[in-house]
Structure 1
């Protein structure tokens, strides 16, 4: 494996766009949920499915990337990560299908969910790429403040 090709540093524009997309997707979903005229237990369902989906997407992305970088990943973990992501998508689809919401509201939740899933994978990828780049080229990161992306290095 070529270290230079594998450890490319993402651009500031891509990092910023990823965080903005995640923030926007989450804000859209949460504002919609906050303003929804539904029972608290139904709001809890949609919140839980959303958080479960984000965690599953990050976990799957990490497992797939670990495997690509020849870091040991068990088949059971990879299978669970895939199952969790697919389960969150299926639960959201079933919930929206059966919800007494306007079609535009259902689309609102679906787009917010999809955008957030994509963005959280991009954010996690950027954090990991920056951590790997920093490990190989520590002298290029001397001026950077620790935790400047606002999250842990995954």
Structure 2
């Protein structure tokens, strides 16, 4: 059974909203860290979690999309993407649970983190969709014959 996948070009509003979600979520999270009265190593922990979370979320989205389009993705890499995303979210939850922050601050960091992850996934999806409407190759599934 040959599935034909039709990709529609994302609207400018969705592309803009995706970028706003990513940039606003990350900027607010980082601004909160900058102004926080926590030790530098604790700030580094939360910064690293944001970077790790963004990478793992975008990598998972790309892997899901690759599989959908018939581009090979090993099961091991796919599983590692899922594990990485879950670990990043769990590490944030454990860090916030044990932090000596007000509940409102904990919620602030959690929501900014999750907004950043959503924005990162949406931006990556849009970049990939828009590349198909320009003459930029995303990836080839079969080698081209020279001739």
In 1, the alpha carbon distance for the partners of 2:102 and 2:17 equals 30
Q: Secondary structure at the match of 2:30?
A: helix
1:112 has 2:112 as partner: yes
CA distance in 1, matches of 2:105, 2:126: 31
Aligned counterparts of 2:114 and 2:24: Cα–Cα separation in 1? 12
Q: Partner residue of 1:60?
A: 60
CA distance in 1, matches of 2:57, 2:121: 6
**Two-structure CA RMSD over aligned residues (Å):** 1.8
What's the TM-score once normalised by structure 1's chain length? 0.84
Aligned residues: 137
Is 1:39 aligned to 2:39, yes or no?
Answer: yes
Is 1:93 matched up with 2:93?
yes
Q: Does 1:124 align with 2:140?
A: no
Unaligned runs of 5+ in 1: 139-152
Deviates more, 1:19-28 or 1:98-107: 19-28
Q: How do residues 79-90 of structure 1 correspond to structure 2 at under 5 angstroms?
A: 79-90=79-90
**Aligned partners of 1:71, 1:45: CA distance in 2, in Å?**
35
Which runs of 5 or more residues in structure 2 are unaligned? 140-147
CA shift for structure 1 position 2: 3.5
